[in-house]
Amino acid sequence: MAQWTDEEIAALKNAQTLQNRPYNDDQSSFAEDNPVWEVVVDKQVFIRGAKGIKDTKWYQAGTKNGGQVEINGRKFKVEYQPVNNADLIQDITHAFNNKYHGQYPIDLMVSDPVAKATIAIVKK
């Protein structure tokens, strides 16, 4: 696995969203745009499935097949790794609150069901 560069981390911290394109079973990526909120904690990138683990289609496809994300016109192949560490999930929740405070739907994105659908975006 490759590490995110300092330049990439800075771009991710400053971006409002990233384009999330998990692969389908045939390795094609989702056709529609899928912008998602993202946060950086300890030089790792995290996103969350707003409909929880079972009902977020990109969560299911990404954890199974990997995919790619795009930020500022640059595409990166990634793995989608579920986060199960309760302390890390809490840190990610704080990062979401800090970055997106006052924006809709922050209350949803920091709720327990959505927090359980936290994914680490790991650059390949």
Interval 70-84: pLDDT, tens: 998 999 999 999 999
Contact residues for 36 (Cβ-Cβ < 8 A; gap 6+)? 17, 18, 20, 47, 48, 58
Task: Say what the pTM is.
Answer: 0.95
Tokens of 16: 């409002």
Interval 12-39: pLDDT, tens: 999 999 999 999 999 988 777 889 999 9
Cα distance between residue 104 and residue 101, in whole Å: 9
